[in-house]
Amino acid sequence: MASYFEELAQQYIDGQWRTGSGSWDVIDFNPYDDEKLASITVATVEEVDDAYRAAERAQKKWAETNAYARRAVFERALALIEEREEEIAELIVAELGGTRVKAGFELHLAKEFLREAIHLALRPEGKILPSPADGKENRVYRVPVGVVGVISPFNFPFLLSLKSVAPALALGNGVVLKPHQNTPVAGGTLIAKLFEDAGLPGGLLNVVVTDIAEIGDAFIEHPVPRVISFTGSDKTGRHVATVCAAHFKRAVLELGGNSALVVLDDADLDYAVDAAVFSRFVHQGQVCMAANRVLVDRSVAEEFTEKFVAKVRSLPVGDPRDPGTVIGPVINSAQAKALSQVVEQAVGEGGTALVRGTVEGNLVAPSVLTGLPENSPLLRQEVFGPVVFLVPFDGEEEAVRLVNDTPYGLSGAVHTGDIERGVAFARRIDTGMFHVNDGTVHDEPLVPFGGEKHSGLGRLNGETTVEAFTTTKWISVQHGRSGFPF
């Protein structure tokens, strides 16, 4: 694993591994023990330009390549991930502080999305449409957009980079990827290495490790990319969308969430507890779909709370390399401090800490809070870590109102003994995704993934990915002579 960090601590531009020419370095730390994993000199505006120009040059030939030949690259990339799976899992544990369970979960999904990318190469279909003009044939071609810029986050960097990079390439585009500076290898250069070894032509995929402190908005303002796929906070997403709109680019935004898991009065409480604990605390709660809020019908709240608190107290916190660890470190000290402030604010507003987790370095133990006033801003914002709010409610009408009382609308779940009651409830919630009798954290290759309100714009997965990374082109053919009025 150490060799990965040594080998991949570079920029990957136009098929070449090279050192950035910026004046400072991104230092890649293990969030659990602060071990220095790598030092990468940042890419400059000029290198971002080099990367986009390389993708632009390579894309033309790639788009003309037989789709079956393109598909073979992704088959080889999948085989390489399977061959190197243990090393990649160790890298995820080290660079993200992800547990073994989390690394396995991320790799499983990454392989599923690569399998879908294999099929996406053959997915685009054209149409022939009728015309009111005699003798006219309307052909509608689905073609690549050209070059896609991808900005990925730190929480599931390998998966969420691949989720845009692989389909964009499979559909005939070039790609420039900018991973998060906390996960430059898992979210960036590792992916470049896998595709290089899989035989992807040089220049098609470029990875620039840099930061807005160095390049400003150059990554999204650059004239070459026609689509920017961004995963991250709604604050940054708003800026990305604004810049994209000013430059007539398409923005695909997967942003934050404030999901609720709802327990109705007829729910299986033991099962609901299991679902709620996983939904909040998977990867230390650093998941956009995580259940920030657990809403429980007051008639079962006492029993549910007792069981929920007992299970949360039992979660092992510690070294993510230990297979028994459930709660590893959050990504950095700033995040750990912010989570401590959330708990202090909640208690200061009159909330009760049923469990108040300790903070040691970047290890933030779970906190369970209840009794917050309904107008608390904490109940409406995203909390990216192992802190959960328990909220009792009286009846479904109040539950619907409380769930929707947030600017976000990404995911959610409801637990009930009556499936159709759950479906009816789900349809009343303003989210892009909602799950009946399950957790809030799900992603599948064929199902449209995305949010409403401040949780994003557009969708990915399946046919929606084709729409995101391709465009349509109308070519009409006039058989015979057309008539003109003058």
Residue 409 one-letter amino acid: G
Q: Judge whether 55 and 206 are in contact, CB under 8 Å.
A: yes
| Rounded distance between C-alpha atoms, residue 323 and residue 252, angstroms | 36
Q: Using CB atoms within 10 A of its CB, is residue 199 exposed (0-12), middle (13-18) or buried (19+)?
A: exposed
Element (H, E) at 364: strand 363-364
How many Cβ atoms sit within 10 Å of the Cβ of residue 4? 22
Rama region for 80: left / alpha / beta (φ>0; ψ in -120 to 50; rest): alpha
Q: Which of 254, 306, 360, 444 is catalytic?
A: 254
Q: Using CB atoms within 10 A of its CB, is residue 248 exposed (0-12), middle (13-18) or buried (19+)?
A: exposed
Active site residue 288: yes
Rg (CA), the chain: 24
Q: What are phi and psi of 198, to 5 degrees?
A: -80, -5
Q: Judge whether 329 and 320 are in contact, CB under 8 Å.
A: yes
- The CA dihedral of 130, 134, 137, 140, to the nearest 10 degrees, is -50
Rama region for 263: left / alpha / beta (φ>0; ψ in -120 to 50; rest): beta
Which residues is 396 bridged to in the sheet? none
Which residues is 294 bridged to in the sheet? 261, 390
Q: Which of 288, 302, 349, 463 is catalytic?
A: 288
Token reading at 109: 């999904």
Instruction: Determine the 3-state secondary structure of 351 from DSSP.
Output: coil
DSSP state at residue 155: S
Q: Which of 110, 82, 100 is nearest to 443 (CA)?
A: 110
Alpha helix ranges (H) inside 97-130: 100-120
Q: Judge whether 273 and 436 are in contact, CB under 8 Å.
A: no
Instruction: Determine the 3-state secondary structure of 381 from DSSP.
Output: coil
| Rounded distance between C-alpha atoms, residue 320 and residue 324, angstroms | 8
Q: Tell me how far CA of residue 285 lies from CA of 15, 117, 276, 470, 473, in angstroms.
A: 37, 28, 11, 34, 43
Furthest-apart CA atoms within the chain: distance in Å: 83
Alpha helix ranges (H) inside 233-332: 234-246, 269-281, 298-313
Residues annotated as part of the active site: 254, 288
